[in-house]
Amino acid sequence: MDEETVCRDHVGSLGRGLAVMEILARHPAGMTLTEIAETAGLTRAGARRFLLTLVATGYATQSGRVFSLSPRLLTIARTWLGGGSLWSFAAPIMRAVAAQLNEACSAAILSGDDVVYVARIPGRRILSVS
Protein backbone atom coordinates (compact mmCIF):
# COMPACT_ATOMS: atom_id res chain seq x y z
CA MET A 1 0.00 0.00 0.00
CA ASP A 2 1.17 3.50 -0.68
CA GLU A 3 1.42 6.09 2.10
CA GLU A 4 -1.76 7.91 1.04
CA THR A 5 -3.81 4.70 1.22
CA VAL A 6 -2.36 3.84 4.61
CA CYS A 7 -3.23 7.31 5.97
CA ARG A 8 -6.76 7.21 4.54
CA ASP A 9 -7.42 3.72 5.89
CA HIS A 10 -5.69 4.27 9.23
CA VAL A 11 -7.97 4.53 12.29
CA GLY A 12 -6.06 7.01 14.40
CA SER A 13 -7.97 6.40 17.62
CA LEU A 14 -7.28 2.67 17.44
CA GLY A 15 -3.60 3.38 16.91
CA ARG A 16 -3.53 5.71 19.93
CA GLY A 17 -5.39 3.14 22.04
CA LEU A 18 -2.89 0.45 21.10
CA ALA A 19 -0.07 2.86 21.95
CA VAL A 20 -1.59 3.28 25.43
CA MET A 21 -1.65 -0.52 25.82
CA GLU A 22 2.00 -0.76 24.73
CA ILE A 23 2.97 1.94 27.23
CA LEU A 24 1.20 0.06 30.02
CA ALA A 25 2.90 -3.17 28.93
CA ARG A 26 6.28 -1.52 29.51
CA HIS A 27 5.22 -0.54 33.06
CA PRO A 28 3.80 -3.66 34.76
CA ALA A 29 3.49 -1.84 38.11
CA GLY A 30 1.12 0.59 36.42
CA MET A 31 1.07 4.31 35.71
CA THR A 32 -1.07 7.31 36.55
CA LEU A 33 -3.30 9.03 34.02
CA THR A 34 -0.90 11.98 33.83
CA GLU A 35 2.12 9.73 33.21
CA ILE A 36 0.31 7.84 30.45
CA ALA A 37 -0.94 11.03 28.81
CA GLU A 38 2.55 12.56 28.80
CA THR A 39 4.22 9.38 27.53
CA ALA A 40 1.63 8.89 24.76
CA GLY A 41 1.52 12.55 23.80
CA LEU A 42 -2.21 12.72 24.55
CA THR A 43 -4.34 15.14 26.49
CA ARG A 44 -5.40 13.95 29.92
CA ALA A 45 -9.01 13.80 28.67
CA GLY A 46 -8.05 11.67 25.68
CA ALA A 47 -5.89 9.32 27.74
CA ARG A 48 -8.68 9.04 30.31
CA ARG A 49 -11.17 7.91 27.65
CA PHE A 50 -8.77 5.24 26.36
CA LEU A 51 -8.02 4.03 29.88
CA LEU A 52 -11.65 3.89 30.99
CA THR A 53 -12.49 1.96 27.81
CA LEU A 54 -9.71 -0.53 28.57
CA VAL A 55 -10.97 -0.89 32.15
CA ALA A 56 -14.61 -1.29 31.01
CA THR A 57 -13.63 -4.03 28.55
CA GLY A 58 -11.46 -5.82 31.12
CA TYR A 59 -8.11 -5.22 29.42
CA ALA A 60 -6.87 -2.87 32.15
CA THR A 61 -7.45 -2.39 35.86
CA GLN A 62 -7.55 0.71 38.00
CA SER A 63 -6.39 0.81 41.59
CA GLY A 64 -6.79 4.31 42.93
CA ARG A 65 -4.96 6.57 40.49
CA VAL A 66 -2.87 3.77 38.95
CA PHE A 67 -3.81 1.94 35.76
CA SER A 68 -2.26 -1.35 34.62
CA LEU A 69 -2.96 -4.05 32.04
CA SER A 70 -5.01 -7.03 33.19
CA PRO A 71 -4.37 -10.71 32.51
CA ARG A 72 -7.34 -10.63 30.10
CA LEU A 73 -4.93 -9.31 27.49
CA LEU A 74 -3.48 -12.82 27.42
CA THR A 75 -6.72 -14.12 25.91
CA ILE A 76 -5.83 -12.36 22.67
CA ALA A 77 -2.38 -13.91 22.69
CA ARG A 78 -3.75 -17.32 23.62
CA THR A 79 -6.25 -17.18 20.76
CA TRP A 80 -3.52 -16.16 18.31
CA LEU A 81 -1.26 -18.92 19.59
CA GLY A 82 -4.14 -21.36 19.09
CA GLY A 83 -3.71 -20.89 15.34
CA GLY A 84 -0.48 -22.86 15.61
CA SER A 85 0.52 -25.09 18.43
CA LEU A 86 2.09 -23.44 21.44
CA TRP A 87 4.81 -26.04 21.15
CA SER A 88 5.81 -24.88 17.67
CA PHE A 89 6.33 -21.35 18.99
CA ALA A 90 8.04 -22.29 22.25
CA ALA A 91 10.18 -25.31 21.33
CA PRO A 92 13.05 -23.57 19.50
CA ILE A 93 13.42 -20.95 22.22
CA MET A 94 13.18 -23.52 25.00
CA ARG A 95 15.79 -25.76 23.35
CA ALA A 96 18.18 -22.82 23.02
CA VAL A 97 17.71 -21.83 26.67
CA ALA A 98 18.17 -25.42 27.88
CA ALA A 99 21.33 -25.85 25.77
CA GLN A 100 22.86 -22.54 26.82
CA LEU A 101 22.20 -23.04 30.54
CA ASN A 102 22.58 -26.82 30.66
CA GLU A 103 19.36 -26.82 32.66
CA ALA A 104 15.80 -27.93 32.07
CA CYS A 105 13.47 -25.33 30.61
CA SER A 106 9.73 -25.28 31.27
CA ALA A 107 6.92 -23.25 29.71
CA ALA A 108 3.74 -22.30 31.51
CA ILE A 109 0.56 -20.40 30.75
CA LEU A 110 -1.97 -18.67 32.96
CA SER A 111 -5.32 -20.36 33.42
CA GLY A 112 -7.37 -17.96 35.48
CA ASP A 113 -5.20 -17.39 38.54
CA ASP A 114 -3.34 -20.69 38.10
CA VAL A 115 -0.03 -21.37 36.37
CA VAL A 116 -0.20 -24.48 34.16
CA TYR A 117 3.04 -25.99 32.88
CA VAL A 118 2.54 -27.05 29.27
CA ALA A 119 5.99 -28.01 28.00
CA ARG A 120 9.42 -29.04 29.27
CA ILE A 121 12.82 -29.55 27.69
CA PRO A 122 15.07 -31.68 29.92
CA GLY A 123 18.55 -30.53 30.84
CA ARG A 124 21.72 -32.43 29.99
CA ARG A 125 22.54 -33.35 33.56
CA ILE A 126 22.34 -37.00 34.54
CA LEU A 127 20.48 -36.16 37.75
CA SER A 128 17.79 -33.52 37.78
CA VAL A 129 15.03 -32.44 40.10
CA SER A 130 11.57 -32.18 38.52
Instruction: Flag whether 58 is in a domain.
Output: yes
90 is in which domain, residue-wise? 74-121
Domain boundary among 39, 54, 70: 70
Q: Tell whether 90 and 61 lie within a shared domain.
A: no
Q: Could you report the per-residue pLDDT of 31-46, keeping only the tens digit for each?
A: 999 999 999 999 999 9
Q: How high is the pLDDT of residue 109?
A: 84
Q: Tell whether 99 and 60 lie within a shared domain.
A: no
Q: Tell whether 62 and 96 lie within a shared domain.
A: no
pLDDT along the chain (130 residues), means of 10: 69 95 96 98 98 96 96 81 73 93 89 83 71
For residue 108, give Cα distances in angstroms to 46, 90, 115, 120.
36, 10, 6, 9
Taking the C-alpha atoms of residue 5 and residue 108, their distance in angstroms, rounded to an integer, is 41
CATH number at residue 12: 1.10.10.10
What is the pTM for the complete model shown?
Answer: 0.61
What's the domain count of the chain? 2
For CA atoms 32, 33, 36, 37, the dihedral sign is negative
Q: Tell whether 79 and 63 lie within a shared domain.
A: no
Q: Tell whether 91 and 65 lie within a shared domain.
A: no
Q: How high is the pLDDT of residue 124?
A: 79
Q: Tell whether 64 and 78 lie within a shared domain.
A: no
Instruction: Flag whether 49 is in a domain.
Output: yes
Q: Tell whether 22 and 55 lie within a shared domain.
A: yes
